[in-house]
């Protein structure tokens, strides 16, 4: 079993929908939970990160961590075609990052 599980998708939704992307993990030592966005033919770029449990909001994006369930989520409100990308979750407990496989998201105009 992988330390971090993430559905590879693709996930296809209409423009304007609320998108929910998720990862589960097994290592309770993880303290930092990150979401990276990767456009086609580009490197991943940090979208946002959260320390421990709770929510963090940045514009249309909300990251949520539930440590009791070992489950993290990224919500995208009012999704736009420009949000079409692969979203990777990553987690760390001691500076080493463990990555999910990434979920490919397609927003249809």
Partner 1 sequence: DADVTQTPRNRITKTGKRIMLECSQTKGHDRMYWYRQDPGLGLRLIYYSFDVKDINKGEISDGYSVSRQAQAKFSLSLESAIPNQTALYFCATSDTSGSRTGANVLTFGAGSRLTVL
> Which residues bind to partner 1, rule: CB under 8 A?
6, 8, 31-32, 34, 41-46, 49, 51, 88, 92-97, 99-102
- Compute the least distance from the CB of residue 78 to partner 1, in Å: 26
3-state secondary structure 82-102: HHCEEEEEEEECCCCEEECCC
Minimum CB distance to partner 1 smaller for 14 or for 40: 40
Minimum CB distance to partner 1 smaller for 73 or for 92: 92
- Token representation of residue 81: 């075609």
Minimum CB distance to partner 1 smaller for 33 or for 83: 33
Who's near 77: CB < 8 A, 6+ residues apart? 18, 60, 61, 62
Angle 16-21-23 (CA atoms, 0-180°, nearest 5)?
Answer: 175
Minimum CB distance to partner 1 smaller for 82 or for 96: 96
The residues with which 32 forms a beta bridge, in sequence order, are 51, 92
- Compute the least distance from the CB of residue 104 to partner 1, in Å: 10
- Compute the least distance from the CB of residue 96 to partner 1, in Å: 8
Q: How many Å is the maximal CA-CA distance in the chain?
A: 41
- Compute the least distance from the CB of residue 107 to partner 1, in Å: 21
């Amino acid at each position: 079993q992988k330390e971090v599980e993430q559905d590879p998708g693709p996930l296809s939704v209409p423009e304007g929908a609320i998108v929910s992307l998720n990862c589960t993990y097994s290592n309770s030592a993880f303290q930092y939970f990150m979401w990276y966005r990767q456009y086609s033919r580009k490197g991943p770029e940090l979208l946002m990160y959260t320390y421990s449990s709770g929510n963090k909001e940045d514009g249309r994006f909300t990251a949520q961590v539930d440590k009791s369930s070992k489950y993290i989520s990224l919500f995208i409100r009012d999704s736009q075609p420009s949000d079409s990308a692969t979203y990777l979750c990553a987690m760390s407990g001691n500076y080493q990052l463990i990555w999910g496989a990434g979920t490919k998201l397609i927003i249809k105009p």
